[in-house]
């Protein structure tokens, strides 16, 4: 899904992801004892997470897949992480692998478009590493993506953080984020892809994250030029008002 492009697959369907995690594709590494991290790793994201999300926060990981992000956060002191994914296959894999990590004992099969099992204001932070991108490639896009974001807003505590890591530039994501029912104070950070960092640093990756001031209408400054055309956009969206009283 690099560059925000969508394939012909329905990335919002459980059947697609069940097959993916059961197959020999990179995303199925968990079946063989490994992991597959989409986009950025925890070490690259750690400075931002540590600055904005206290270790005592209750964290919801949307579309967790078989990423190491939750594991690395738990090892780094985060106390309460809930992993959800639409694929029952990968959730079972996560349960088996992380049964001994108390911070990760809650792994649940769930469609992010309907998270009614959780009550309002249940989480201090919601982390989304590519899930909104997948929803924008689902058969019901953009309606399904809008439903997911409404659920995220409902689940966040007042002043809670929605951390969105996406290929979507502000012109593509800000209109979604600003839908009715969502009220955020948003900052943007931009990171080159790990592949670009390896190339530029001759095999010694040095994660670089740049904060970029958005214009009044939530867009990139007109003179801003991406170092890496495949860069990841990291939106830190802080809940401004409680969605439900």
Give yes or no for residue 21 having a pLDDT over 80: yes
What is the rounded average pLDDT of the residues 117-132?
Answer: 97
Per-residue pLDDT at 200: 83
Q: 3-state SS of the chain: helix, strand, coil percent to 5?
A: 35, 20, 45
Domain membership flag for residue 76: yes
Helix, strand or coil, per DSSP, at residue 227? coil
Domain membership flag for residue 186: yes
Whole-number percent of the chain with pLDDT over 90 = 69
Give the model confidence (pLDDT) of 24-72 as tens digits.
Answer: 555 544 444 456 677 999 999 999 999 999 999 999 999 999 999 999 9
For residues 219 and 168, the answer to whether their CB atoms sit within 8 Å is: no
Give the model confidence (pLDDT) of 157-187 as tens digits.
Answer: 999 999 999 999 999 999 999 999 999 999 9
Domain count of the chain? 1
Distance of alpha carbon 154 from alpha carbon 85, whole angstroms: 18
CATH of the domain at 110: 3.40.50.150
Per-residue pLDDT at 176: 96
Domain membership flag for residue 187: yes
> At 91, is the pLDDT very low, low, confident or very high (cuts 50, 70, 90)?
very high
pTM to 2 decimals?
0.90
Domain membership flag for residue 72: yes
Domain of residue 150: give its range. Answer: 6-239
Mean pLDDT, rounded, of the chain? 88
Domain membership flag for residue 1: no
What is the rounded average pLDDT of the residues 64-89?
Answer: 94
Per-residue pLDDT at 205: 60
């Amino acid at each position: 899904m690099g560059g925000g492009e969508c394939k012909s697959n329905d990335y919002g369907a459980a059947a697609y992801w069940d097959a993916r995690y059961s197959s020999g594709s990179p995303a199925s590494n968990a079946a063989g004892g490994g992991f597959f991290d989409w986009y950025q790793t925890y070490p690259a994201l750690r400075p931002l997470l540590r600055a904005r999300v206290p270790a005592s926060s209750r964290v919801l990981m949307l579309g967790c897949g078989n990423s190491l992000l939750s594991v690395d956060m738990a090892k780094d002191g985060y106390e309460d992480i809930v992993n959800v994914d639409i694929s029952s296959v990968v959730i079972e894999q996560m349960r088996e692998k992380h049964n001994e990590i108390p911070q990760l004992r809650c792994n649940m099969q769930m469609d992010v478009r309907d998270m009614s099992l959780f009550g309002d204001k249940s989480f201090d932070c919601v982390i989304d590493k590519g899930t909104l991108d997948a929803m924008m490639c689902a058969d019901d896009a953009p309606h399904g993506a809008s439903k997911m974001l409404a659920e995220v807003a409902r689940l966040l505590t007042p002043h809670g953080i929605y951390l969105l890591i996406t290929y979507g530039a502000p012109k593509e994501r800000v209109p979604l984020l600003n839908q009715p029912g969502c009220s955020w104070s948003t900052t943007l950070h931009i990171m080159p892809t790990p592949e670009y960092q390896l190339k530029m640093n001759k095999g010694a990756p040095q994660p670089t994250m740049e904060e970029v001031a958005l214009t009044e209408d939530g867009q990139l400054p007109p003179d801003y030029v991406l170092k890496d055309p495949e860069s990841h956009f990291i939106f830190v969206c802080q809940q401004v008002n409680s969605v439900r009283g």
